[in-house]
Amino acid sequence: MAKIQVLIEFWEFLRFNKKYWMLPIVIVLVLVGLLIVMAQGSAVAPFIYTLF
């Protein structure tokens, strides 16, 4: 429940302060973080490393 509350508060912050431009930055950072976590012990890791 606490993780959902953080997302709700973040969305309210973006909406209240009209900082919608931050949303794509946060989404990209989360996706890159997920990519790194998923590639740690995966057989796909050599293919991901060639992208960077």
Q: What is the CA radius of gyration of the chain?
A: 15
Biggest distance spanned by C-alpha atoms of the chain:
43
- Position 28 scores a pLDDT of 92
Which sequence spans correspond to the domains of the chain?
Answer: 1-51
Q: What predicted TM-score, i.e. pTM, was given to this entire model?
A: 0.59
Report how far residue 19's alpha carbon sits from residue 16's, in angstroms, rounded to the nearest whole number. Answer: 8
Structure-token pair, residue 29: 């950072």
pLDDT single digits (tens) 3-45: 789 888 988 988 888 888 888 988 998 888 887 777 776 676 6
